[in-house]
Each structure stands twice: as C-alpha cells, then as structure tokens.
Amino acid sequence: MGNIKPKELNSIGYTDNIAKSIAIETIHKHCKHSSKEEIISVLQNIIRYPDKYKTHQIWGKLAEIVSPFKVEQLSYELREENIPYRIFGEENIDELARQQMTTAMKLPVTVAGALMPDGCAGYGLPIGGVLATTDDIVIPYAVGKDIACRMCLTILDVEADFIYKNHDKIVKVLIENTSFGSDNKPTGCPPHPVFDKSEFQEIPILKKNREKAIRQLGSSGMGNHFVDICEVELDSGNKVGLPQGRYAAILSHSGSRGLGSEIADFYTAIAKETCQLPRQAGPFAWLSLKNESGQEYWRCMEIAGEYSAANHDLIHHRIIKALHLKSLLTISNHHNFAWKETLNDGTNVIIHRKGATPAHLGELGIIPGSMTSPGYLVSGKGNADSLFSASHGAGRMMSRFDARNSISRHAMKKLLAEKGVTLIGGTTEEAPQAYKDIDMVISAQNELINIEGRILPKIVIMSE
C-alpha cells in the first residue's frame, strides 16, 4: 500500500482536517493493493472533479467533503473593553486566571461570563470559568480537553460504620475494580449501548477512536481523578430525598478519557483554521453550529458526555457488586461541558462551563474538596450572575510542578494519617496542601448554592 503522509495530503490540497481524516481512513481501508502514485492520482482528481466521484462507492464521502473544497478563513478583532462579569471569591483568584477570563469577555461572540471561587489559570478559559456565547457558537477549548469530566456519587444501603468494619476488604475491592491511566483496566467489561450510536460510524474522529474508547471503558484518568469510598452526612429536610443519617457512599471523579482529548484537539485545529483571532485569544477559536464542523463537534461532545457517564456507572457497578451492597441513590454532574440555555432576559446562549458545576434552581451537584478535606452535596439557587453555576471543587492553590517540588511524601502521609484517610496510589502533585481551603471556597458562593450534605473521604484510590 502506498504510504501517504499528512504533509503530502496538504501539498495535494487537503488542508481541512476532516477531509484529511476521511482520506487517510479510506486509503487504509480500500487501497491496500494500490501504489502511492495511483492513490495520489485519484486524490488529485477528486480535488479537480469532485462531482464525478460523489456517487463513487469508495470515494463518495471524500468527494462530498471537498465539493466545493474551500475553507473560509475569517479574522476577528477583540472588543476594546471586556463585558463586565462577576468574580466570586475574588480575593483568592490568581492574576493569570483573571486575565484569561477578561480576554474571553472581549470576544465578539461573548454574551456574559462569570468566574467561580475555585478559579485558577488554565489554557484559554481559566478553570472555574463560565462563558456564555451567542446561540450558534461553541468554543472547543472553553469546554476543554477532558470533555464531560464529571462527579458521580452513589449513596449505599449501609451506614458509614460499614467502612470502618470492612476497611481491608474495601481496599482490596478498590484495587481490583479500578484502573487509572492508559489502557490498563479490569477485564470483563460488558459491551455498552453508547458504542452502538450511529456517530461512531458516521463521524471519522469517533470511528477512529472507537476501539481505544472501548478499551478504556470503566477506567479513570490520571492527575486529580479518583475513586473514593466515603461517608455522606445528610441533615433532616435535605433535598436529596433520603432520611437524615450517615451513609457509606462511592464518589468518583473522571471524564471521557482519550476520546475527549482527541475530539478537543481535532475540532480546535479546525476552529483555528477558520477563525483567526489575535495571538492572546488564539485558544478561543470557535465553531458555528450553522456549519457542519460545529454540528459535528456538538454531536461528538454529547457522545463524550454519554461515554463519561458510562465510565462512572461501570466503576460504581463493579464496586457495589464486589461489596454485595445496593444503591439507594446516584447523583452526578458534568463540570467540563457546553449547554444550550436561556438567560433570564430570554436570550438564547451556549453556556460553557470549564471546571464549574451547573447550579440551576434546585439542581443537585457535587463539589469535592481534596483527598483529606470534605466535599459538599449542594443544590443550586439559580443565580443569574454566575450563569446558574458554582465551583467544581476547591481549586488549586499551587501548580502541579510547585506541589511536586515543595510537598514531601512524608508531609502528605502525615496529614492523611491525622485525617484518618487511607490513600492508595496518588502523588504529591495532588496533595491536600496544593489545594485551596474548601470551606473558604464554599463560603464565597453562598449566593449560588445550598448545602444538602457533607462528603467525608475515607479510602481514596488515585493514579500513581
């Protein structure tokens, strides 16, 4: 088979990422016995005479994409002044995060925004940033690489004392039924309906990554992703709907794994081809939902959301089964996603939450702390100034690099022992000392949430 490299596709005229992906996929599938010269000749003819190939059994899809083959590049300038926005817990937000949010508020497609009290610098939109754009615009990097990173809490049918009485068994169950990082995960994962979605056949980037996504199903990412057997304290009159008490529970934090990362990179590259912005605003390149690439990204994002939910469901199912327990209630929420919503004045928008919890009136959500500090089960107050959002955690006070070089393993273990928390795996990059005070972060958003319960970590497993 002729080996065609991406640079060679560029020289022929295939500069659009979608066209390139389809071309490469078609060559690998159908051109095993064709020479490089024959393949290039066909590709050149498709560029010149796409209409002749539209009904071709093999090359028809590529011909449709390149007919007419034109990527319209438009340049945009930023507003001179940013649209005003609220910063919650302003005194604890670093300057770079503020600068990133201010840049986002100068985009010509921006309608409104807010920065949550766990805000810290990210890539493009800061972590904790909430951005509303016009109703036809989506910004892949305002959603982020870990699309649909989410929290999931399953409250179990036993009291919290179960954790202390079965400590060693729980440790064994967590080790045997969780996996972090690349492709390593427990075997025997059942097939999942999400992979039967037509998008996995119709959209090249999903089709390309389908097998990898299947391999990673039921696993967690690295960094601050975790699975925790925890204690949940519920007061009387809570909106959760369970009686007052102390329950054992499973809490997990993870996202769409490699699938989400591939989607983010692929469509950000397309956005940057068509949306030229000043250098400092480059990561905010957007796609229009009126165009095919924007519609495709939206479909991929939603699939990543379903895949992320499936990951958590499978992890919780395995643990519950291994412990011979039952679920009383499961609560979950994305905190890296985009939603079609309506503001209080009736304006239809796309709200991007990058490290922010949806907090519409009465909506339940989960805001974790660190591996030793409590998390909170909350309900939203539907505050319009925050775009119906709240923080997604405590937020980093220290970068991973700084944490790795300033916090010793001994200091972390000492704090874990003081708090009565068992840690399996984990690194000093995610040490509790690297995070803001969760209670300070929660108190900075009294306007945004009601507290429905406390989540106390007990046995935590993370990537090594």
DSSP letter string over 6-42?
HHHHHHHT--SHHHHHHHHHHHHHH-TT--HHHHHHH
Strand 110-120 to 86-87 pairing: parallel
C-alpha 48/C-alpha 67 separation (Å) is: 9
pTM across the whole model:
0.85
Count Cβ atoms below 10 Å from residue 117 Cβ, excluding itself. 25
Contact at 8 Å (CB) between 87 and 109? no
For residue 68, the SS3 value is: coil
- From-to residues of CATH 3.90.1860.10 in the chain: 150-255+312-333+356-462
pLDDT confidence of residue 186: 53
Count Cβ atoms below 10 Å from residue 55 Cβ, excluding itself. 10
Looking at domain 150-255+312-333+356-462, its CATH superfamily turns out to be: tRNA-splicing ligase RtcB (3.90.1860.10)
Contact at 8 Å (CB) between 336 and 355? yes
**H/E element holding 451?**
strand 449-462
**H/E element holding 100?**
helix 95-104
Contact at 8 Å (CB) between 357 and 395? no
pLDDT confidence of residue 106: 98
pLDDT confidence of residue 189: 61
DSSP letter at 82 equals P
Q: Hey, which residues does 462 pair with through a beta bridge?
A: 226
Orientation angle between helical segments 17-30 and 204-216, nearest 10 degrees: 70
C-alpha 50/C-alpha 63 separation (Å) is: 5
- The answer to whether the Cα torsion of 128, 131, 136, 142 is positive or negative is negative
Alpha-carbon distances, residue 112 vs 24, 107, 131, 286, 335 (angstroms) = 40, 10, 6, 16, 18
C-alpha 366/C-alpha 150 separation (Å) is: 9
Orientation angle between helical segments 257-274 and 292-323, nearest 10 degrees: 170
pLDDT confidence of residue 72: 62
pLDDT confidence of residue 1: 46
pLDDT confidence of residue 258: 92
Interior angle at CA 50, CA 48 and CA 53, nearest 5: 125
Name the phi and psi angles at 156, rounded to 5.
-95, 165
Count Cβ atoms below 10 Å from residue 77 Cβ, excluding itself. 11
Alpha-carbon distances, residue 390 vs 33, 132, 247, 248, 267 (angstroms) = 56, 15, 25, 25, 27
- Show the DSSP H helices in 247-384 as ranges: 257-274, 292-323
**H/E element holding 109?**
none
C-alpha 328/C-alpha 321 separation (Å) is: 14
Would you write out the chain's pLDDT as a tens digit for each of its 464 residues? 457 877 788 878 787 777 888 888 888 888 888 888 888 888 888 887 787 787 788 888 888 887 764 556 678 999 999 999 999 999 999 999 999 999 999 999 999 999 999 999 988 899 999 999 999 999 999 999 999 999 999 999 999 999 999 999 999 999 999 999 864 555 556 678 999 999 998 888 999 899 999 999 999 999 999 999 999 999 889 999 999 999 999 999 999 999 999 999 999 988 998 899 999 999 999 999 999 899 999 999 999 999 999 999 999 999 999 999 999 999 999 999 999 999 999 999 999 999 999 999 999 999 999 999 999 999 999 999 999 999 999 999 998 999 999 999 999 999 999 999 999 999 999 999 999 999 999 999 999 999 999 999 999 999 98
